[in-house]
Structure 1
């Protein structure tokens, strides 16, 4: 005697009902042989659908054992049960349970997708099945564009795509008119003749007449979810399948073998294909729920745009501030006679020479140097006389201090520009006028006259020493290091420390520190908005899982693994956040365009690092905040999920 294909031994199933326990099936013993067409009949609530769910590995018994081809399903994990649903069983549901986002062709392909069939193979197979069922002109129609009978035929094609050795039909005619119902039963008889094992669940005795064998379940006072009848149907010629090809998959269940290199390569290809298909499903889901998708993205868009804009504003502001600081001469070191500010002896120290400035120019970190001789004198032009500052400076003075010309030229650059003025009794000709500038040592309202220091020293003061020397340090050199180098050189030249230095770079550093602190503060605020956006993504994804519970149940029923469900929802969350990040960066650039036309003194400076970090951050948010909804989706009970409207 051949071993039964499906063997139920002492199976009971009960559910919690508050403090009580409701027994639906009690000590069920049942054997179904390969190639049979069996009808399970009983009134509503008798437990026949629960029995079908156990037979189809959608549910597990509380007690007893269920064997498929001799294998005990109680010892199988979720992935092995999913493999059984995918490769052994085909479900035909009363309410069709088609995925509304997919076409008829797409719905039929789903089980083959989870069975790792290539896209061309499964599309070809699905097309052939739908054509055989008379739906060749409905391949691209979605479920809401099909009649009830057409939707049921799509459900049949989906059940057959992976072979469908065992077809489980739950009230297959319950939602159909009488004509469509007769056609459906004829179709099931044809499948039976083709070698498929058919299990019908119905409350209609007329439908049960199509089966070779009728099993009756009774509930209530007489029996409590037990089989009370198991009879052969004399009205139907029993068909025992002899087609080994039709049952080859059942006779030879998949085994685990060591993987060869070729199988490893195939495994990688399959995994890559699964991710691509999950991405495709995510895109379809996003496309069909555009408003929900946009609302999910909105928090990420605002958060990423805030972060990128703040960084760009901070960088632009800092660049503008640093440029202004540089023009004020804050990357300079001043050398003055004496031991420090307030030294009353400094006026009598006359050791700073123009030759010291020439020596300092030889230092590698020095950008430019100028000696200075200064005094206040009466400045007369025509009949007007004012008091102003006269400074004798070197040719590099204007570079050191960051001055630019409004008109004319600097020393030794050409002919005289304009009028002759008198400095005391010394006539001089104006050859250039500088732009106004804010400096740490002067302001733009002061009247300053600059002459070559040799002129001031020789013709006004008649002295051979200078008042001070100012050194502009190269931008790439630490000012403290440069200061120590200058002190060392002058100490060696003078033989003593009869001078002191004023490093104005501390001003720049203070401003930089303040700017960095403000940028960090605003970035923290932007990060909080990004975090809030991530929580919004999680909340909406959790709502999405609730809304799509039925879809998840259908996918599990046709063979999706928990990892397949989790992968789909996780990729969708990551994709939403990634797209939100891209739109957020685009919004940040749009803000930059507005700034460029606003007449602001500075431009937003976008950092490639901040953009990459923004993308990485949005993707990470998708992973972190999408994980919980994805895990919840993967762990849904298929029976509960399928019962949701």
Structure 2
């Protein structure tokens, strides 16, 4: 018969220099397909090292090892994993079942990496367990099974991908004598079905079950005896049953399995996982809250600016705010406003003058500001009427003694709900008839929140009350299709030409809006940068915990590699776990930020928070990126573990 295992002059060394140990010395032998071989020797004789080389878990220092015709020394780690998955099934002394998986899931594990469909592998696992007398234990976890039952699950796992070669390392070492006999009978039955069995043991009683006994002592073969002839290998013995999934389906299936295992690992250490996510939660919540607060504040300020009028330009006396000589400049006139009103880039214009004084109604006296404005003022400033009407162009021409009062003045002089249209109030002992009441204005710009403002035609104020010939300011609203900055430039050029100099300054609401937006964006960026530090700290925490997780689960990694997992599968497993931790932390951070926003909204309207789907997506993307970045090193360390070292870790 053809040899399925061939070793030629195999040597194995451990250590370097003076500490170098020669473990295997010129080992040469072959195992025929379908044979039952026992490798026997004392502890330290090298028999387990020999089995690890045959099982592609370890590589020889020199010599040749061929498994199913493939030279293992020429294969890369993933190719060795594929060879293990296709041909070799392991039965370990300590069973090496994954504690979080059921008997059926442990059995089906090799088929996950071999590409067998999910439904097919579970059905095959159930059949294998039923054939080993465990039909009623498929859903049990390893902790719920006896030692003998766990070893039978281990045997079923070895057969999952066909088990053409079954390597058993002290398969009865952790069992009582009866369970040990049952395991050996199962192995003999598998051999009769055509499986090649290689048992490593120090027990001569176990070795007596084999067809052939190879004795090793101090790294050398000292005896090779055949007890009985091997039976003929049945056709197709040890070949995997079931159809492999497509490449895409296989990859998706492996991702689902890795995701499920990640969830199990996170839930197995709930408190540790929660503390790990805490840094991500705080970081994401900080960033989202800062951006939402910045967006809300920016929108509120811009709304207040817009309430002053869209596309408006105020023309004021003097060189700028704080000019002490502005009060002595009397060059702005109604004629200036009239000329501006005739320009094609101007939609509306109103001259403004103001004066403070006592306002009297009945026996109530208050201090108020009388604003002399044109009929277009209310449209320019986007003011709305609550009672009555605004004054008209005819009222301005007629120097009508009419006034429109704001809501604060209404509240101070009259009872709530009272209709005051037609009532007469006295401003500096001059009568004014109320023709309208403005709606309450919630704004941060313009008159103070507690100020009392009344409005009258500028002609009335200048001719009947103050006697002034000059105005304080002019307010212009540019046409919608005109860029406000261009309109501002043209206004400055026109008035400078009229006045022979620039003895005025302008306030452009569009410029204010842009300044506010730039300032708030800069503040958001600055504070977000500070908040990102907590994200980095959280990411470092994730990396530390993942490194601990790799250390704790080293044996699990070794088991997965032994049953056919490639380096990419192991890396994927731990990367998904890191990303999942960060992603859940990101979701919790977003929810916490929303909770903070809701709480602040209940307490006060001074801290508006505006959330957007964009920042939510960015936050989730950031948390995922942190999981990938900080989870990469632990995942790479796990993928690069030597299978034999991983299996040996307690």
> In which range does the TM-score fall when normalised by the shorter chain?
0.7 to 0.9
| Root mean square deviation of aligned Cα | 3.3
CA contact (8 A) 1:3 1:70 kept: no
Q: Which piece of structure 1 moves more, 12-21 or 323-332?
A: 323-332
1:496-550: CA deviation from partner (whole Å, max 9, x where unpaired)? 7776342154555555444333322321121000111111111101110001001
Residue 345 of structure 2 is matched in structure 1 by 363
Query: Of 220, 227, 234, which aligns to 2:221?
Result: 227
- Secondary structure (helix, strand or coil) at the match of 1:61 reads coil
CA contact (8 A) 1:565 1:633 kept: yes
Trace 1:474-553 onto structure 2 (pairs within 5 A): 479-487=484-492, 500-503=504-507, 505=509, 510-553=515-558
Residue 433 of structure 2 is matched in structure 1 by 429
Residue 581 of structure 1 is matched in structure 2 by 586
Trace 1:355-434 onto structure 2 (pairs within 5 A): 355-356=338-339, 358-359=341-342, 363=345, 366=347, 369-375=349-355, 389-398=369-378, 400-401=380-381, 410-411=390-391, 417=421, 419-423=423-427, 426-432=430-436
What is the CA distance between 1:79 and its match in structure 2? 1.6
- Secondary structure (helix, strand or coil) at the match of 2:603 reads coil
What is the CA distance between 1:467 and its match in structure 2? 4.7
Q: 1:486 to 1:149 in 2, by over 3 A?
A: same
What is the CA distance between 1:154 and its match in structure 2? 0.3
Distance 2:327 2:163 in 1: 105
What is the CA distance between 1:146 and its match in structure 2? 0.2
1:368-427: CA deviation from partner (whole Å, max 9, x where unpaired)? 532224456776666888886543212343454566778765436999636424456742
Residue 144 of structure 1 is matched in structure 2 by 143
Query: Of 231, 252, 255, which aligns to 1:272?
Result: 252
Residue 595 of structure 1 is matched in structure 2 by 600
Trace 1:16-55 onto structure 2 (pairs within 5 A): 16=15, 19-55=18-54
Q: 1:443 to 1:152 in 2, by over 3 A?
A: closer
1:94-138: CA deviation from partner (whole Å, max 9, x where unpaired)? 000001110000000011111000011111111100000000000
1:62-98: CA deviation from partner (whole Å, max 9, x where unpaired)? 1111112332111111121111111111110000000
Structure 1 residue 617 and structure 2 residue 622: aligned? yes
Unaligned stretches of 5+ residues in structure 1 = 220-224, 250-262
CA contact (8 A) 2:313 2:476 kept: yes
Structure 1 residue 314 and structure 2 residue 294: aligned? yes
Structure 1 residue 123 and structure 2 residue 113: aligned? no
CA contact (8 A) 2:37 2:197 kept: yes
Q: TM-score, normalised by structure 1?
A: 0.87
Distance 1:383 1:597 in 2: 40
CA contact (8 A) 1:3 1:69 kept: no
Q: 1:141 to 1:477 in 2, by over 3 A?
A: farther
Q: 1:388 to 1:476 in 2, by over 3 A?
A: same
What is the CA distance between 1:228 and its match in structure 2? 0.5
Distance 1:425 1:71 in 2: 112
CA contact (8 A) 1:11 1:28 kept: yes
What is the CA distance between 1:563 and its match in structure 2? 0.9
Q: Which piece of structure 1 moves more, 32-41 or 504-513?
A: 504-513
Distance 1:10 1:522 in 2: 68
CA contact (8 A) 1:403 1:437 kept: no
What is the CA distance between 1:484 and its match in structure 2? 1.6
- Secondary structure (helix, strand or coil) at the match of 1:246 reads coil
What is the CA distance between 1:21 and its match in structure 2? 1.3
CA contact (8 A) 1:330 1:440 kept: no
Residue 11 of structure 1 is matched in structure 2 by 10
Residue 135 of structure 1 is matched in structure 2 by 134
CA contact (8 A) 1:416 1:429 kept: no
Q: TM-score, normalised by structure 2?
A: 0.86
CA contact (8 A) 1:333 1:504 kept: yes
Distance 1:338 1:523 in 2: 40
Residue 175 of structure 2 is matched in structure 1 by 176
CA contact (8 A) 1:565 1:634 kept: yes
CA contact (8 A) 2:273 2:581 kept: yes
Q: 1:49 to 1:427 in 2, by over 3 A?
A: same
Residue 258 of structure 1 is matched in structure 2 by none
- Secondary structure (helix, strand or coil) at the match of 2:641 reads coil
Q: 1:267 to 1:376 in 2, by over 3 A?
A: closer
